[in-house]
A and B are shown apart, each in its own frame.
Chain A
Amino acid sequence: MASTPAVAVAGLSKYFPQLELRHFLALRRPPGVCALREVSFELMAGENLCILGPNGSGKTTLIKLIATLLTPTQGRIWVQGQDTGAASLSIKRHLGFITCNEESFYGRLTGWQNLAFFARLHNLNPKDAVPPVARVLKLEPYLDRRFFSYSTGIKRRFDIARGLLHQPDILLLDEPTTNLDPIATQEVRQLLAQLQGQGKTMIIVTHRLEEVQKMRGRLAIMKEGRLQEVQPAAGESLEDLYRQVVQGDGHGPA
């Protein structure tokens, strides 16, 4: 019997309606701005998918749709076999969404207090949930300091720690190394490699080629809302392949 994919996406499209007065008055409203066009893929447990694409290509929209922060215009998403439209609360136990927005914490509270708050939202006892992730992410020396006093790199580590509190089997990462200095970038990459080694299923979206080069797993390129899985041919550099797909000469999605 074939096993259930960790994440399955079928015919997913997302249009953002245009909210302008003239559209309200029009008899036939335009469909809106298209962010995703009929995206489909399946990801088995333990697999990784790096999605590369220029700004505005729909990467963040895709990851937010999987995290149920957006509703699709068309298509369906299943997480561990459950339809996200029907069971959006229960599938969140499987998902760790790492927002990569280091400001999405409470600056006046300490790192421990922040992580304890989010642990409780996952129905976990903070004393059980926080120490293991703090140890893995080497955050123990920072737990008692106020969040606003941390560097961007430490804040990003807290962001990753928050996504790991409930030990999810699927991780969604949106530009995990953006705004980080080279050392912090390297630390985050090592951590992602470590999580890969633990068998986590990961979807990482990025517009940085070097990010993808460091990761093992499947690669897809997104352009104007369409997703195309690619595999560099022997001797072909990732940069060349990316340029070909994004500039639309040959490999571009239909």
Chain B
Amino acid sequence: MVLRKVAAFFILDFLEELSYPLTFIWCCGRIFFRLVAFYYLGQLMGEATSPYLTVYGGSYFPFVMVGLALASFQDVALTSIARKIYFGMYSGTLEAMLVTPTSLPAIVFCSVLYQFFSALLEILLYLGFSVWIFKISLAQANLPATAVLLILALLAHLPLGIISAGFLLAFKRNDPVTAMLGQLSALLGGVYFPLQILPHWLGTVSLFLPFTHALEGLRQAVLNGWGLRQLSTQITILAAFAVVLLPLSLAVFAWAVRQAKRLGTLSQY
């Protein structure tokens, strides 16, 4: 029964995506051109960057490529649930779903599954283009550790997306904190540059972002082939974020649903 509902949402999103045949080509093009830009930026910087990047293999391009890939994944975790809720509210599909024997938490979780599948495909596109076109060697990548880090990155960021969706349900406005967190993570999480070049106090602030630890771990797993034991610090921190934030986010979301049913705002935006 649960699988049928999971399949319902997955098929729905897949068919919607398929109805825009240029989406995949556009996505490939966006990733390709972004990689080209950073590839030549890396060429321009050449060896000058290597003192900061020694721990990641010394080259800028593979360093930034992993950062870009994880940033797109984080974006999905932070924004996709609220986007889905927003569409459901203004189109009326949310009410139509809620009169079926499907709970709102189930609707929320199932409706983002395809988004995560799609985000994983994007990561694969980043890695694939880097290997195929830019001749980056990823032979040393530790795949089990990469998979574990991606799952933990998802579990640590998803609660922020759930809180954002709850905020949208309750107040009819996008949550400014989550939007700011996305920007902060890109800036302070180390997508474009190593954290060592930040002032000490900013580097300390970045440690409070789950993204910083997810990205550091992912770079070590993909570029240096670190295994689960070597990544235990990042894994523990991400698990702690998930353990604390998941129940909190579910409580916030349940409160938002109660508010929306009390105020009659499930279909208002």
Contacts and interface: CB of A to CB of B under 8 A. Distances in A.
B93 A71 contact: no
A123 B12 contact: no
Contacts of B177: none
A10 interface: no
10 contacts: A67-B99, A68-B99, A69-B99, A92-B99, A93-B101, A97-B99, A99-B92, A108-B16, A118-B96, A120-B7
A70 B262 CA distance: 6
Contact of A17 (B5, B100, B262): B262
Classify chain A: how many residues form its interface, as a range: 35 or more
A93 B100 CA distance: 7
B34 interface: no
B16 A92 contact: no
A123 B1 contact: yes
Given A99-B92, A120-B4, A90 B101 contact: yes
Interface string A101-131: 1011110110001001110111100000000
Interface of A: 14, 16-17, 19, 35, 61, 64, 67-71, 89-90, 92-93, 95, 97, 99, 101, 103-106, 108-109, 113, 116-118, 120-123, 146, 162, 166
A93 B97 CA distance: 13
Contacts of A35: 264
A122 B4 CA distance: 9
A113 B10 CA distance: 12
B47 interface: no
B30 interface: no
B197 interface: no
B186 interface: no
A89 B103 CA distance: 7
